[in-house]
Chains A and B, each alone.
Chain A
Amino acid sequence: MVQLLTPEGKFAPSASAEEFLPYFEKLTDADFRKFYTDMVTVRRYDTEATNLQRQGQLALWVPSHGQEGAQVGSAYATKDQDHIFPAYREHAIAHIRGVDLIELIRQFKGITHGGWNPFDPKHKNFHIYTLVIGSHALHSTGYAMGITLDGKTNTGTPDTDEAVIVYFGDGATSQGDVSEAFVFAASYQTPQVFFVQNNHWAISVPVSVQARVPLYLRGTGFGIPGTQIDGNDVFASYAVTAKHLEDARSGKGPSLIEAHTYRIGAHTSSDDPTKYRTDEELQGWIKKDPIARLETYLRESGADEKFFTSVHEQAADFAADIRRRAVELTAPGPESIFRSVYSEPHPVMEEQQAWLAAYDASFEEEA
């Protein structure tokens, strides 16, 4: 397992980290502070969203608490031109790629099934969430096949050469679509990275039920090499993803990263983890928190209290702003149900929308 930053906040690269160090060495202190700021902000946002759900504002919330290290590190390794296919828990990556985090709230408040246009440049190719487990792995592979057909990768210009990174969890690796994505990726040598966030639980089913062999080896049989990292180590996440993406965009084909991390919270707000895992295990992972170790590292490399206070204050403001906007969100009217079912005009959409409008108009005004 590749590790650069220990849970105690010490920079101590493992032997397996050797080949990735050059990528880490490109980072500056400013980068580390950005990592920290983003992790704290998103965690604070995540807490706020959890509370909003408990207050009846959101139908559901999917917490990312605990997985910030894996997400922030890998996100910073991507280039603007890369396409990112998330599952449904990658809120930190959404934030880093420019998606206004209120959009995720819209989805979980029940206002939209999507929330943003991935093809709007401001969202830097961060695709919308896919709730059918593993389905998007195939979409990412198809997309990557398109990049190859377009000749937009492996041209020797890494600043513009494109790659794809797709995120899913340990549970998803059991889905047929993920295996089929591996088959197509290997067969067509797609420029992509499969990033597995092994947070050890698929709702209440432990990863041992999904895999008898460590997940970084899952792609081997398909011809897809893999690297295992300490997913709570943002440095490792950055460095390893950077190298894998470089391989992808320079014609070396698909690869896989398994990030060992932990789902500190529940699967979703409807779940109760106390029913299937021990507090001992939870506490053990809390000790390996990605933010805590980075904070320790930053303090020891000279960051002062003002920095941390400012980060937390800004995070609190960010969360409060999300709260304010979340409460004000309203659902769109009935026309939106019919509007985007098809890209071209459709007689049944027109007919049913007209019917509903006439039906609604036939009632007395509600007092």
Chain B
Amino acid sequence: MSVQNLPLGKAINLGLREAMLADPTVVLMGEDIGTLGGVFRVTEGLKTEFGAHRVMDTPLAESGIVGTAIGLAMRGYRPVVEIQFDGFIFPAFDQITTQLAKLTFRHEGALSMPVVIRVPYGGHIGAVEHHQESPEAYFAHTAGLRLVSPSNPHDAYWMIQEAIASKDPVMFFEPKSRYWPKGDVDTSTSGFPLHASRVVREGTDVTIVGHGAMVSMILQAADIAASEGTSVEVIDLRSLSPIDYAPILTSAAKTGRLVVAQEAPGFVSLGSEIAATVHEKSFYLLEAPVLRVSGFDTPFPPAKQEAIYLPDADRILDAVDRAMKY
């Protein structure tokens, strides 16, 4: 058992390093990832260790980054691409959705696309426009892609390696507001498969589901609820596509009440999908409808207003209150 206490960003850095040591076909690509080590320093030190041919500073062209990564994958490499900020993924949207997601299907299985796209995402860092987005839903909606999001350093360390090892394209959503807080990382064993969801806190009255940065917010809310006498069970989704519903449904059967919390806008979101599925599969067992706590259906506002926009413990607890009233 070897446990280190690391920030999430550093955990990903170590995970990348492990992957690159284990497999010489793993190459990193992105803007500023080489010499600078990435604007969040997630790739720090890797160019020095592995060389410019494996840690490439690319031109400023997201579509080009993903498109050439696809070509490299065709050649037998395992490219790990960084999109510098969530809001800048859209120039690559075509390459991701019409090409990366569909090339295996188009080749009737003769070609795999083992490409990882790392995307720092989410708010709570007081940044300017396009730097605090949560665009997961656009990609979860596209068949052929897999999406995951670690909420803590231990998961970040392991999930990046598992994503790289996957033969399928994996979008790796990194909660940037969690890059610096530290957590324990057991580097000897992962403990959970890449696409598994996980109960991170047990409870009996109501279940709250979330991913990425939202998980720590939910746990805070759960503590407050406990002090008020409500027992909250918390589930970390970890995998956004496919979603591992088994623990969620077991929990819904146990508590009868479910809340989904996310930074993303609510309309046509992961929360909507989870609510619909849980309603369908647990209809007879629910005491209350599944409630969603989301960002508003507006563009992400200027940083001074992000506290209004982003769900916090109060908004989550409000949903808990409403769920408990049924």
| Chain A interfacial positions (CB closer than 8 Å to B) | 112-114, 117-120, 127-128, 130, 132, 135, 137-147, 149-150, 176-177, 180-181, 183-184, 187, 336, 339-344, 346-348
**A139 and B144 alpha carbons, distance in the complex (Å):** 18
**A71 and B107 alpha carbons, distance in the complex (Å):** 23
Chain B residues with CB below 8 A from A135, complex form? 67, 94-95, 98-99
Q: Is the interface of A mostly helix, strand, loop or mixed?
A: helix
Q: Which residue of A lies closest to B70 (CB)?
A: A139
Contact with A along B18-58 (1 / 0, CB 8 A): 00000000010000000000000000000000000100001
Given contacts A132-B99, A184-B58, A184-B61, contact A344 B68 (CB under 8 A): no
B126 at the interface (CB under 8 A from A): no
Chain B residues with CB below 8 A from A141, complex form? 64, 67-68, 71
**Binding stretch for chain A, among B73-81, B117-125, B219-227:** B73-81
Query: Is B64 a contact partner of A138 (Cβ separation < 8 A)?
Result: yes
Chain B residues with CB below 8 A from A146, complex form? 71-72, 74-77
B228 at the interface (CB under 8 A from A): no
> Which range contains the number of B residues in contact with the other chain?
35 or more
Query: Is A177 a contact partner of B105 (Cβ separation < 8 A)?
Result: no
Query: Is A139 a contact partner of B104 (Cβ separation < 8 A)?
Result: no
Q: Can you pick out 20 interface pairs between chain A and chain B where the beta carbons lie within 8 Å of each other?
A: A114-B110, A117-B108, A117-B110, A127-B74, A132-B99, A138-B68, A138-B70, A138-B71, A139-B71, A139-B99, A141-B71, A142-B68, A143-B71, A145-B68, A145-B71, A149-B72, A184-B59, A336-B108, A339-B108, A343-B114
Chain A residues with CB below 8 A from B144, complex form? 341-342
Query: Is B108 a contact partner of A114 (Cβ separation < 8 A)?
Result: yes
Q: How far is the CB of B51 from chain A (nearest CB, A)?
A: 10
Query: Is A343 a contact partner of B167 (Cβ separation < 8 A)?
Result: yes
Chain B residues with CB below 8 A from A181, complex form? 64, 67-68
Given contacts A142-B71, A343-B167, contact A128 B94 (CB under 8 A): no
Query: Is A132 a contact partner of B61 (Cβ separation < 8 A)?
Result: no
Query: Is B166 a contact partner of A344 (Cβ separation < 8 A)?
Result: yes
Query: Is A144 a contact partner of B64 (Cβ separation < 8 A)?
Result: no
Which 3 A/B pairs are nearest by Cβ-Cβ distance? A142-B71, A138-B67, A146-B75
Chain A residues with CB below 8 A from B107, complex form? 114, 117-118, 128, 340
Q: How far is the CB of A176 from chain B (nearest CB, A)?
A: 6
B216 at the interface (CB under 8 A from A): no
Query: Is B74 a contact partner of A139 (Cβ separation < 8 A)?
Result: yes
Given contacts A340-B107, A348-B242, contact A187 B75 (CB under 8 A): no
Query: Is A119 a contact partner of B61 (Cβ separation < 8 A)?
Result: no
**A11 and B60 alpha carbons, distance in the complex (Å):** 47
Query: Is A184 a contact partner of B94 (Cβ separation < 8 A)?
Result: no
**A329 and B63 alpha carbons, distance in the complex (Å):** 37
Pick the residue among B67, B73, B113, B168 that contacts A177 (CB under 8 A): B67
Q: How far is the CB of A336 from chain B (nearest CB, A)?
A: 8
**A331 and B144 alpha carbons, distance in the complex (Å):** 22
Known: A177-B95, A187-B59. 11 other contacts (CB 8 A): A118-B107, A135-B98, A138-B66, A142-B68, A142-B72, A142-B74, A183-B64, A339-B109, A340-B104, A342-B167, A343-B104
Chain B residues with CB below 8 A from A113, complex form? 102, 105-106
Q: How many A-B Cβ pairs are below 8 Å?
A: 135
Query: Is A184 a contact partner of B106 (Cβ separation < 8 A)?
Result: no
Pick the residue among B102, B111, B114 that contacts A119 (CB under 8 A): B111
**A336 and B143 alpha carbons, distance in the complex (Å):** 15
Residues from 173 to 220 in B contacting A, C-beta threshold 8 Å: none
Q: How far is the CB of A41 from chain B (nearest CB, A)?
A: 26
B112 at the interface (CB under 8 A from A): yes
Q: Which residue of B lies closest to A119 (CB)?
A: B110
Pick the residue among A119, A127, A149, A177 that contacts B64 (CB under 8 A): A177
Chain A residues with CB below 8 A from B61, complex form? 180, 183-184
Q: Which residue of A lies closest to B76 (CB)?
A: A146
**A145 and B68 alpha carbons, distance in the complex (Å):** 8
**A139 and B113 alpha carbons, distance in the complex (Å):** 12
Q: Which residue of A lies closest to B54 (CB)?
A: A149
Residues from 278 to 310 in B contacting A, C-beta threshold 8 Å: none
Residues from 81 to 102 in B contacting A, C-beta threshold 8 Å: 91, 94-95, 98-99, 102
B270 at the interface (CB under 8 A from A): no
Q: Which residue of B lies closest to A337 (CB)?
A: B105
Pick the residue among A128, A144, A150, A347 that contacts B71 (CB under 8 A): A144
Q: How far is the CB of B286 from chain A (nearest CB, A)?
A: 21
B69 at the interface (CB under 8 A from A): yes
Given contacts A135-B99, A187-B59, contact A145 B106 (CB under 8 A): no
Query: Is B109 a contact partner of A150 (Cβ separation < 8 A)?
Result: no
Pick the residue among A142, A147, A343 that contacts B69 (CB under 8 A): A142
Query: Is B99 a contact partner of A344 (Cβ separation < 8 A)?
Result: no
Query: Is B168 a contact partner of A344 (Cβ separation < 8 A)?
Result: yes
Query: Is A341 a contact partner of B72 (Cβ separation < 8 A)?
Result: no
Pick the residue among A139, A144, A341 that contacts B143 (CB under 8 A): A341
**A137 and B61 alpha carbons, distance in the complex (Å):** 14
Q: How far is the CB of B292 from chain A (nearest CB, A)?
A: 21
Q: Which residue of B lies closest to A346 (CB)?
A: B242
Q: How far is the CB of B303 from chain A (nearest CB, A)?
A: 30
Query: Is A132 a contact partner of B94 (Cβ separation < 8 A)?
Result: yes
Pick the residue among B63, B75, B166, B167 that contacts A138 (CB under 8 A): B63
Interface centre among A128, A137, A342 (most CB of B within 10 A): A342
Q: Which residue of B lies closest to A143 (CB)?
A: B71
